[in-house]
Amino acid sequence: MTATVITQDEIDQVFPTVAATMADALGCDVEDIQPDVSLIEGLDAESIDFLDMVFRLERAFKIKIPRGKIVENARGTLTEGEFEQKGVVTDVGMSQLKAYLSEVPAERFKLPMKVADIPRLFTPETFCKLVVQAQRDTKAAG
Amino acid sequence: MSAPLPLPVLIASGLAGKTVIVTGGSRGIGRAIVLLFAAEGADVTFFYRDNAEAAAEVVSSAGAAVHAVVAERVDVRDAAACAAAVERVADRCGRIDVLVNNAGTIRDNPLAGFSDSDVRDVLDTNVTGVFNVTRAVAPHMISRRSGRIVNLSSVSGEKGGRGQTNYAASKGAINAFTRALAVELAPRRVTVNAVAPGVIETEMSQTVRELAGDEVRARILLRRFGTAEEVAYAVWFLASDYASYVTGQVLTVDGGFKME
């Protein structure tokens, strides 16, 4: 995890491939993959679709995305205990989450938020950021 | 006069050219599965744990098959090794169509006589091993919206057998795993089934056959032990196009075994 901000340019660069990959995985038109649409509520993605999308993105971009990477990235420097208590995101965790998922409209962050419900917030742009971060990690690993 | 019934048309099994992974393929039932699938023209990679000589013999026996059979030394208890081996197969063949989870071990003993390793080895190989390989393979099948997973269970998974609490528990787990995974993967058009053999003439059942052969045989309606090939045909069926509408099932191949 690095604290370096992911730029809009970087997101724009990967978005077309991310969108095409997601459309294949979800069986929808690529035009339906808008950067801020909720994958679960807007595109009916299920947990198995997330697995499929990650699998396809790993191949498309030749990167590795460990399971739980989005939440890990979102947690940043916070410990697990600081980020969540008994499966519910803490106040400080919520601030961190909102900062990391800046592409998600504020009204979608419902309180209290369970950790298990975090994927409901994910959008195609969330995955773009994940890809960019994984590309950086791959490059850094040499 | 009514219209004549259409003649039955035998279709090809659909296995020619398919990429198949068989775990525990160097001996017994696994060996028979590897050779049968290779004879069908499938591109077969099998995993084996430690018997390199037996593995080489299988590769050499399949020599005349359309595709070369590939042996990979993989301990299914090692999740990272399974993931790496599956990726090598996917990289080489471009896809994975069929997974046969056959690797298994047996350590019979009365419950009170088990060592820790008797319990751990059986559960780690027979259950965790299936999780490890299937977790690595499933995303490939989900992604292609196609695939066949066949797990080797045992009649012990449904019926009791003295000295087999560890083995029976492991195979009962496989039956449950099969049904649950069938539910999970059906929307992605991946079928998941199991074959439950009875007493088969393999090294693994040698002790049972030697110690209680007549007693056991007397409980089998067909009055004989099965062969590895007879089990392989059941696996072949579940992996073939003939079984396209079969999922979540445990197919028993035991000659009509009546157990206590």
Residue A22 has pLDDT above 90, yes or no: yes
Asked if the Cβ–Cβ distance from A52 to B140 is below 8 Å, we say no
ipTM for the predicted complex comes to 0.80
How many domains is chain B partitioned into structurally? 1
From the list B167, B233, B242, B245, the catalytic residue is B167
Question: Using 50, 70 and 90 to split pLDDT, how confident is the model at A1?
Answer: very low
Q: Please give the Cα distance from A110 to A121 (Å, whole number).
A: 10
Q: Is the dihedral of CA B101, B104, B110, B111 positive or negative?
A: negative
Q: With contacts defined as CB-CB under 8 Å, which chain A residues touch B192?
A: none
Residue B14 inside a domain? The answer is no
Question: Using 50, 70 and 90 to split pLDDT, how confident is the model at B260?
Answer: low
Which of B96, B142, B185 to mutate: most A Cβ within 10 Å? B142
The first and second tokens of residue B126, run together, are 């027979």
Asked if the Cβ–Cβ distance from B142 to A56 is below 8 Å, we say no
Spatial contact of B101 and B30, defined as CB atoms under 8 Å apart: no
Q: How far is A65 from chain B (nearest CA, A)?
A: 13
Give the residue, B26 or A106, on which the prediction is more confident: B26
State the pairing for strand pair B250-253/B70-73.
unpaired
Question: Does the beta carbon of B184 lie under 8 angstroms from any beta carbon of chain A?
Answer: yes
Question: Does the beta carbon of B139 lie under 8 angstroms from any beta carbon of chain A?
Answer: yes
| Chain A interface with B: residues with Cβ < 8 Å | 25, 48, 51-52, 55-56
Q: What is the pLDDT of residues B175-232, one digit of tens each?
A: 999 999 999 999 999 999 999 999 999 888 787 777 777 888 888 999 999 999 999 9
Q: What CATH fold (topology level) applies to the domain A8-136?
A: 1.10.1200
Spatial contact of B219 and B259, defined as CB atoms under 8 Å apart: yes
The residue with tokens 């039956």 is B175
Q: Can you tell me whether residue B43 is helix, strand or coil?
A: strand
Distances (CA, A) of B13 to B40, B52, B54, B214, B235: 8, 31, 28, 37, 12
Residue B92 inside a domain? The answer is yes
Residue B259 has pLDDT above 70, yes or no: no
Q: What is the pLDDT of residues B133-190, one digit of tens each?
A: 999 999 999 999 999 999 999 999 998 788 899 999 999 999 999 999 999 999 999 9
Mean per-residue pLDDT for A53-81? 90
Q: How far is B21 from chain A (nearest CA, A)?
A: 19
The residue with tokens 């850094």 is A140
Domain that holds residue B205: 19-249
Q: Assign residue B55 the CATH number of its domain.
A: 3.40.50.720
Q: What is the pLDDT of residue B204?
A: 80
Asked if the Cβ–Cβ distance from A48 to B139 is below 8 Å, we say no
Residue B176 inside a domain? The answer is yes
Residue B67 has pLDDT above 90, yes or no: no
Mean per-residue pLDDT for B19-38? 97
Closest residue of A to B188, CA-based? A48
Q: Can you tell me whether residue A84 is helix, strand or coil?
A: strand
Asked if the Cβ–Cβ distance from A55 to B187 is below 8 Å, we say no
Give all strands of the β-sheet with B43-48 in edge-to-edge order. Answer: B70-73, B43-48, B19-23, B98-101, B147-152, B190-197, B250-253
Q: Please give the Cα distance from A5 to A8 (Å, whole number).
A: 10
Q: How far is B90 from chain A (nearest CA, A)?
A: 11
Give the residue, B8 or B164, on which the prediction is more confident: B164
Residues in chain A: 142
Which of B140, B143, B146, B192 to mutate: most A Cβ within 10 Å? B143
- Number of Cβ atoms within 10 Å of the Cβ of A22: 24
Question: Using 50, 70 and 90 to split pLDDT, how confident is the model at B7?
Answer: low
Residue B257 inside a domain? The answer is no
Mean per-residue pLDDT for B220-248? 96
Distances (CA, A) of B191 to A2, A75, B183: 41, 37, 9
CA angle centred on B232, ends B228 and B234, rounded to 5°: 125
Residue B83 has pLDDT above 90, yes or no: yes
Q: What percent of chain B has pLDDT over 90?
A: 81
What kind and span of H or E run contains B229?
helix B228-239
Asked if the Cβ–Cβ distance from B142 to A48 is below 8 Å, we say yes
Q: What is the pLDDT of residue A2?
A: 45
Compare CB distances from B184 to A48, A52, A56 and report the shortest one's residue: A48
Question: Does the beta carbon of B87 lie under 8 angstroms from any beta carbon of chain A?
Answer: no
Number of H helices, E strands in chain B: 8, 7
Q: What percent of chain B has pLDDT over 70?
A: 94
Active site residue B167: yes
Residue B8 inside a domain? The answer is no
Q: With contacts defined as CB-CB under 8 Å, which chain A residues touch B188?
A: 48, 52
Question: Using 50, 70 and 90 to split pLDDT, how confident is the model at A131?
Answer: very high
Q: What is the pLDDT of residue B9?
A: 64
Asked if the Cβ–Cβ distance from A25 to B184 is below 8 Å, we say no
State the pairing for strand pair A88-89/A84-85.
antiparallel
Q: What is the pLDDT of residues A75-118, one digit of tens each?
A: 888 999 999 999 999 999 999 999 989 889 888 898 899 999 99
Q: Rounded to 5, what percent of chain B is helix, strand, coil?
A: 50, 15, 35
Residue A53 has pLDDT above 90, yes or no: yes
Q: What percent of chain A has pLDDT over 70?
A: 97
Residue B121 has pLDDT above 90, yes or no: yes
Q: With contacts defined as CB-CB under 8 Å, which chain A residues touch B139?
A: 51-52, 55
- Pick from B242, B254, B21: which is nearest to B149 by CA? B21
Q: With contacts defined as CB-CB under 8 Å, which chain B residues touch A55?
A: 139-140, 142-143
Q: What is the pLDDT of residue A15?
A: 97
Average pLDDT of chain B, as a whole number: 93
Q: What is the pLDDT of residue B44?
A: 97
Give the residue, A20 or A103, on which the prediction is more confident: A20
Residue B183: Cβ-neighbour burial (10 angstroms; 0-12, 13-18, 19+): exposed
Residue B6 has pLDDT above 60, yes or no: yes
